[in-house]
Structure 1
Amino acid sequence: MAAKATEQQGTTEPELSYEESREELSNVVRRLESGGLSLKESLALWERGEELARMCEQWLEGARATLAAAMDERQGDSPGEDDTPF
C-alpha cells in the first residue's frame, strides 16, 4: 500500500501516522535483511523504505517545529530582566 501525501497550505502531510510509518519501515528493513528476494522485489522494497523514511522525517520535523514554537511562546510569556516594572 503506497502512502499518499496531501497538500495543505503548501506543505505535504503524510497520510500514515509516524508510528505506522515507522512500523512499516521496520518491516521493510526486516524483509530486506532476510534476503531471498529478487532484485526487482528488493528495489521496490528499498524505494518504499526511502518513502517511509521521508514520511518519518516529516513527522519528526513537524514535532520539532511544534516544540520549538511552544518553547518560544513559553519564554515569551515569562518576564525577563528587562520586563520588570521596578
Structure 2
Amino acid sequence: MTNPDPAAPVAELGYEAARDELVRVVHALESGGASLEESLALWERGNALADRCEEWLQGAKARLDAARASGPAATAQEAGQA
C-alpha cells in the first residue's frame, strides 16, 4: 500500500492512491477515536475517494469495452454479418 497524501485534491489522485487513502479513511472511521467533526470530514473525504475510484473503474471498463469492440473477434463478427 502506498502512503497517499491526504492533502492532495481527490480529482488528481490515481486509482491506487485513491484506493489506499480510502482504506486509511475507513480504518480511521472504524477505530472510533475521532471527534464528530473529524469523523464528518473523514466521511466526506471517503465519499469523494470512493467516487474517484468508481470513475477510474468506469473509465477502465469503457476502455476494455472499446478494445473488445474493435478487436479481432468484433472484426470477424462484422465480416460474417456483411
Query: TM-score if structure 1 supplies the norm length?
Result: 0.78
Q: Please give the alpha-carbon distance, in whole angstroms, between the structure 2 residues aligned to 1:71 and 1:81.
A: 17
Q: Structure 1: which 5+ runs fail to align?
A: 6-14
RMSD: 1.5
1:25 equivalent to 2:22? Answer yes
| Alignment-derived partner of residue 82 in structure 1 | 81
Q: Which runs of 5+ in 2 are unaligned?
A: 1-6
Identity %: 53
Give the counterpart letter for 2:44 in structure 1. E
Equivalence map 1:1-86=2 (5 Å): 1-5=7-11, 15-74=12-71, 75-79=73-77, 80-83=79-82
Aligned length: 74
Structure showing the higher helix proportion among its residues: 2
Pairwise CA distance, 1:61: 0.4
Structure index of larger Rg? 1
Question: When you count strand as a share of all residues, which structure comes out higher?
Answer: 1
